[in-house]
A and B are shown apart, each in its own frame.
Chain A
Amino acid sequence: MSQSKQEWGSRLGVILAVSGSAVGLGNFLRFPGQAAQHGGGAFMIPYFCALLLLGIPIGWAEWTMGRYGGRKGFHSAPAIMGVVGRGAIARYLGIIGVLIPLAVYFYYVFVEAWCLAYAWEYAKTLFGGAAAMGVDAKATLADQTAASSSFFRNFTGSHSDGVMLGGSLQESVAFWLIVFAINVWFVFRGLSKGIEAFCKWAMPIMALCALVVLARVLTLPPNPEHPEQNVLSGLGYMWNPDFSALRDPGTWLAAAGQIFFSLSVGFGVIINYASYMKRKDDLVLSGLTASSTNELFEVGFGGMITLTSAFIFLGATGTLAAVQTGSFGLGFQTLPVVFAQMPAGNVIGMVWFFMLFLAAITSSLSMLQPSMAFVEEALGTTRKNATAIITVIALVGSLWVIWFSKDLAALTAIDDWVGTFLIVVLAAVQVICFGWVFGMDRGMKEAHEGAHMRIPGFVRFILKYVAPLYLITAIFMFSKDNLGTWIRRAIDNPVERNTLILIGLVVVFLAVLTHIGTKRWRAAGLDVDGQHPPQD
C-alpha cells in the first residue's frame, strides 16, 4: 500500500479538530432563532435533556466505532461500518458517511467565502471605504434592510442562474477560490500538520473574537429612539421562559434536532477522525470535551450575542422577522443592519464575520478529510492522488452550486436532502449497528479502553433503545412532513432535480470505490466483515 500513515499529534489536537468540525454557523445563527421561537429560556430544558440523553451518548458511540475501525486498519465510514455492522449492507450504507461531508462541502465552502468576504467588506470601511454592504446608517431601517438584502442577492447571485460565473470575476467567486484553495491545502497537509495545526490556532482565535463581540453587545447603550430596547430586554427576548412551549411536542423535537445537527453526530466526520486514535487513547473524556466546547460556543456565545444585538436596534418585531428569514437571512441580511447602528459597528462586524469564517473553515476542513481517506483506502493510492480526485469532485459540485444560484436552489436541495435528511439516516444506521450488531457489552468495553472517565450505566439503555427509537421516529415524522413537498419540488424544479442526479452520480462513484476497496481489503487479508477481534 502506498497510503500515507496519518495520526493525530495530541489529544488536545483531536478534541479541537472535532470541536472545530461541530462549531459552525448554526451555533451562532440557528440556535438563538430556535430558542426564541420555542419558549426562550424554557427551550433549554428539552435542549439539555437532548444533549445529555442523545447527543453525547451517540457521539460516544461514533467515537468508539471510529477508533475500533482504525484498530482494524480502516479509516473510512464504509469500511468501518462494514466491520462494526459485520457485512456488505452496513458497508454500503456507510457510503452515506462519505457522501454527507463531501456533498455538504459543495455549498458550505461558498457560504464560508461569504463570511470572509463580509469580513473584508467591513475591513475596507476601516480604511475609508464606502458603507459596508451598502447599508447607510442614516437611512430608514426599511431602506437599510432593503440595501442589505439587495447586496446579499447580488453578492450570492440569488436573483439569477449563471450570473456568478459569467463575465468578470465576481467578488464572492474570488473569495470562494481563495477559501477553496486554503481548504485543499490544509487537508492535503494531513491530519497533524494540516487540520490539527490549523484548529489549534483557529479555535482559540474564534473564542477570542466571540468574546470581543460579546463584550461589545453586553455594553451597548439603550437604543436612543426606543430606550426600552436595551441589553436586558434583548436578553429577555432570548431567555425569558415561556413554559407553555414545553407542552408542544414540536419544541422537544426542535431541541433534539438542534443538538443533533450542532454536534455533527451522524455526519461521517467523528467516525473518520476517531479512527486515527490509538487503542489506549481516551475517547470518553475527549468526546465529552468536544461536545462541551460546541455547547460553550452555542449557548455561551450564540445565545448571548445574536438576538440581543438584533433586539436593541430592531425591536421585537424586527428580530422576529429576522429569525423567520432563517440563518442566511439573519446572518447576512439582518446583522449588517444591526452593525450599521452599533457604535464601533464596522470593527465588530469585521470581527464577527471573521469569527464566522473561522467557524465555517474548521467545519469545512473536516468535510474533505473523510472522502480523501476513503479514496486513499479504497484505491490504495497516495494522499496526493486522493487530494486530486476529491478536489475535482468538490470543484464540480461547488461550481454547480455557484452556477445554479437563483433562489439558492441547488444549495437548498443539497442542504435538505443530504445535510438534513441523510444525517438522521446515517445516525440511525450507526446507532443500530453499534447497539444491536456490534453489541452493547462489546461497545462499552471498547469505549472504556484507555478511558479517563466512565460512561454512566444508563447510556447503555439510551443507546440500545432510546436513540434508535428516537431516530426512527424522527425519520418517519420528517419524511411525513417534508418528503412529499421535497419530491414535488424536485419534479417541478429542474435545478433541484438535476442536483439530485448529480448527488446520485457521486453515490454511484462511491459505491464503485467501495466495491473496489472491498476486493483490495480482502486480498490484503483485512477483516472486512468484522469477524475477528483486532490484532493490536
Chain B
Amino acid sequence: MSSSLNVLGWIFMITSLAFVVGLTAWCYLRVLTTPDEVPEPAKDFHSA
C-alpha cells in the first residue's frame, strides 16, 4: 500500500473522479437549463 500510484490506481482514481464530476455537471446543467415548473398542457385547445 505504500507504493506510488500504479496504473490500476490511476484508472480507478480517474474513473471515479470522472464519474462524480461528470454526473454532478450533467445534473446541474439540467437543473439550471430546465424551467422550474413544467407547464400543464391545455386540456382543450379551444378553451386554452
Q: Is A147 an interface residue (CB 8 A)?
A: no
For residue A280, which residue of chain B has the nearest CB?
B37
- Which B10-46 residues have C-beta < 8 A from chain A? 10-13, 15-17, 19-21, 23-24, 27-28, 30-32, 34, 36-38, 40
Contact B13 A450 (CB under 8 A): no
Query: What B residues does A12 contact at CB under 8 A?
Result: 31-32
Q: Is B5 an interface residue (CB 8 A)?
A: yes
Query: What A residues does B3 contact at CB under 8 A?
Result: 233, 236, 240
Query: What B residues does A298 contact at CB under 8 A?
Result: 20
Contact A452 B24 (CB under 8 A): no
Distance A232 CA – B37 CA, assembled complex (angstroms) = 47
Distance A242 CA – B6 CA, assembled complex (angstroms) = 12
Distance A48 CA – B17 CA, assembled complex (angstroms) = 12
- Closest-CB distance, A512 to chain B (whole angstroms): 39
What per-residue 1/0 map shows which CB atoms of A33-59 lie under 8 Å from chain B?
Answer: 000100011101000100000000000
Interface residue tally for chain B (C-beta within 8 Å): 30
Q: Is B4 an interface residue (CB 8 A)?
A: yes
Q: A289-B31, A452-B34 are in contact. Are A315 and B2 (CB under 8 A)?
A: yes
Which listed residue, A239, A288, A295, A296, touches B13 by the CB 8 Å rule? A239
For residue A12, which residue of chain B has the nearest CB?
B31
- Chain A binding site: helix, strand, loop or mixed by DSSP? helix
Q: Is A292 an interface residue (CB 8 A)?
A: yes
Distance A232 CA – B10 CA, assembled complex (angstroms) = 10
Interface residue tally for chain A (C-beta within 8 Å): 43
Distance A317 CA – B23 CA, assembled complex (angstroms) = 35
Q: A316-B1, A452-B38 are in contact. Are A240 and B9 (CB under 8 A)?
A: yes
Query: What B residues does A237 contact at CB under 8 A?
Result: 1-2
Q: Is A235 an interface residue (CB 8 A)?
A: yes
Most chain B C-beta atoms within 10 Å of own C-beta, residue among A236, A304, A450: A236
Query: What B residues does A48 contact at CB under 8 A?
Result: 16, 19
Contact A41 B13 (CB under 8 A): yes
Contact A450 B8 (CB under 8 A): no
Query: What A residues does B16 contact at CB under 8 A?
Result: 41, 44, 48, 299, 303
- Which A272-312 residues have C-beta < 8 A from chain B? 278, 280-282, 285-286, 288-289, 292-293, 295-296, 298-300, 303-304
Which residues on B are within 8 Å of A, measured CB to CB? Answer: 1-6, 8-13, 15-17, 19-21, 23-24, 27-28, 30-32, 34, 36-38, 40
Which residues on A are within 8 Å of B, measured CB to CB? Answer: 10-12, 15, 36, 40-42, 44, 48, 228, 230, 232-233, 235-237, 239-242, 278, 280-282, 285-286, 288-289, 292-293, 295-296, 298-300, 303-304, 315-316, 450, 452-453
